[in-house]
Amino acid sequence: MGIMYNKSYKKHAWVILGMHRSGTSALANMLHEMGAIAPKDLLPPNEKNPKGYWESKPVMVLNDQIFSELNSTWSSWRSLNLEEVPNETLAAAKERLRITLGGVFEDLDNALIKDPRFCRFFPILRDVLQKEEVNPLPIIIIRNPIEVAQSLFNRGDMCVAEGGLLWLRYV
């Protein structure tokens, strides 16, 4: 099921999709400056990203839990086939995401949703937003995979080869 702009929905949410270290935070900052509503409970800036991540900590924690339930992690470059996941597992993940988004946004209209992990299971987020009659408006940012892999290596996350494989999986 692709993304279609549904004119009957009165609300929309900006969904930033892109590999870690690809400029997703800079893009989120720009959209926020243009009026997109950032979530509450943002991850704080740190030495790895001094201008901030523009990600909700509760959403990130939930996404890591979903990865765990799917026997994966954010840093696994192995395939993640949602069609093989039991329906009750997907339904539970969608419900927890709906509740979590409701807690970090007063309203989903013009919401700025950013967590690179959504690249791996965007259909879950899309379904939650559409059920709430919110148009998901994905924006995909791409950075040279060699630069991303080198950035992940410099950050101490993984070797360059693994970073390149991960970039392929996310993109």
pLDDT digit string, tens, across residues 77-86: 898 888 899 9
82's tokens: 């949602």
Phi-psi domain of 86 (left: phi exceeds 0; alpha: psi -120 through 50; beta: other):
beta
Distance CA(66)–CA(1), nearest Å, equals 21
Which residues are within 8 A (CB) of 106 and not within 5 positions of it... i.e. 6 or more apart? 37
**Nearest 5°: CA angle at 127, between 124 and 128?**
85
Longest dimension (CA), the chain: 47
Beta bridge partners of 137: 14
The pLDDT of residue 5: 61
47: DSSP letter: T
Asked whether the whole model's pTM tops 0.85, one would answer: yes
Regions of the chain with pLDDT less than 50: 1
